[in-house]
Amino acid sequence: MTDENSEQIRLDFPVTKKIVYMNNGAIAPTPLVTIKTMTDFMLKCAEEGPDSSSTAEYITSLLGELKLRVSHLIGCEPEEVVLVQSTTDGINLVANGIEWKKGDSIVVRGGRHEHYANYLPWLRLSQTRGVALKELDIDGNGMFDMGQLEKMTKGSRLVAMSHALYNTGAIMPVEQVGRIARENNLLFFVDAAQTAGTIKIDVKKIGCHFMAFPGFKWLCGPTGIGIFYCSKEASELLTPPSIGGESATLSSTGILAYMDMPARLQTGFRNYPGAAGLEASIRYVLRLGLDNIRSRNMKVANTLHDELAKIPGITMHGPDDPDQRTSIVTFTSSADSSSMVKKLESNNIVLAERDIGKGKKGVRAAPHFFNSQQEALQVASQVKSLI
């Protein structure tokens, strides 16, 4: 991205006029084009009728376009894309859709160090369905030993982990995990909440059967809509948790039959304004290019990381190698993390406090492509003044 392009991008995000917003790992702001697209959709419904034939045709086309965009984003087929409310919804489709048997086991990374959305559903299965939960040991950055993973996969049924960690930004070796899962005939679920929209994803290279991510983080889409990827080969393994007229048929003799993917897992979806917004946001992200986004994000993140590391009393968390982390920058200091986040916000800088394991909390910055290196210097300077 050129400096000229960067300035235009910042104009697309009104938040840049008022504050330094680096909490994109939680919820990112939406660009103006997304806001306009959602408004245009609502106006179309108001002018032509929300259930008119013209609006219905538009919605069908819109949902097709959205799934096509997602297929370009993660390297899958459009019919493997299921629209959900959130990452959590997608995870629970897997956890509650598989017919678990007593003696089955699930491999997860780091237990409580994992985001709770990708831990509690598996933990509940272990407490209610007689499924064993195997937890990989992790180091200070959240990484694990491949040898231990290979041992744990023997006789297991599924392995689940984040593509990148919400607390340290460490990128997990998911392609290696996918290879091990295939060699041991395991199902593989990936939580891509912290990577979709910030690094390239190819579900076929990863070899995962399932993946979930929200629209409202790095994709800069609206809240209330997310994506669940379910491979063709694994779709029949999931029993839909709900059923309705959009997902099943009823024969004249009273026999129920689920529709083909993705309809069978998408009962009752009605967030069409959200779909319009997410399609616009993904189109925006793809137009910028994920390689460009990654490069831009890491320039800002590396500037912030290096400046913070110079401050006496600051401890950085996450991999030192920039290639092994996203643009998330997490640190601790002698100052209370919660108090620091509040004081920074009073100075128009929005970061977040997050768990980093073993009962400790750190301050997390999560810059995205509309943030600048100058803002990174500003954040570091304010942090230094608070220690």
Tokens of 52: 């008119």
Q: What would the mean pLDDT of 333-357 be, rounded to a whole number?
A: 96
Three-class secondary structure assignment of 242-277:
CCCCCCEEECCCCCEEECCCCHHHCCCCCCHHHHHH
What pLDDT is attached to residue 313?
95
Which fold would CATH assign to domain 37-287? Aspartate Aminotransferase; domain 2 (3.40.640)
Bigger pLDDT: 2 vs 165: 165
Domain boundaries, the chain: 3-22+290-386, 37-287
Tens digits of residue pLDDT in 190-221: 999 999 999 999 999 999 999 999 999 999 99
What pLDDT is attached to residue 29?
98
Torsion angles phi and psi, residue 232, rounded to 5: -55, -40
Give the residue ranges of DSSP H helices in the chain: 3-11, 32-48, 53-74, 87-97, 120-128, 146-153, 174-183, 203-206, 232-235, 272-288, 290-309, 337-346, 373-386
Tens digits of residue pLDDT in 20-71: 999 999 999 999 999 999 999 999 999 999 999 999 999 999 999 999 999 9
pTM for the model stands at: 0.96
- For 3-22+290-386, CATH number out of 3.40.47.10, 3.90.1150.10, 3.40.980.10, 3.20.20.120 equals 3.90.1150.10
Contact 171, 325 (CB under 8 A): yes
What pLDDT is attached to residue 3?
63
**Domains 3-22+290-386 and 37-287 in one fold:** no
**What is the distance between the alpha carbons of residues 98 and 189, in angstroms, rounded to a whole number?**
12
- Neighbouring-strand partners of residue 81: 229
Closest among 265, 267, 236, 87 to 160, alpha carbons compared = 87
Task: Calculate what percentage of the chain has a pLDDT beyond 70.
Answer: 99
Contact 228, 210 (CB under 8 A): yes
**What is the distance between the alpha carbons of residues 376 and 21, in angstroms, rounded to a whole number?**
11
Residue 334: band (very low, low, confident or very high) from pLDDT cuts 50, 70, 90? very high
Tens digits of residue pLDDT in 123-147: 999 999 999 999 999 999 999 999 9
Closest among 284, 272, 279, 246 to 44, alpha carbons compared = 272
What pLDDT is attached to residue 6?
87
Burial track 99-136 (b if 16+ CB lie within 10 A, e otherwise): ebeeebbbbbbbeebbbebbbbbbbebbeeeebebbbb
φ/ψ region of 348 (left if φ > 0, alpha if ψ in -120 to 50, else beta) reads left
Contact 331, 354 (CB under 8 A): no
Distances (CA, A) of 269 to 44, 87, 91, 351: 19, 15, 17, 33
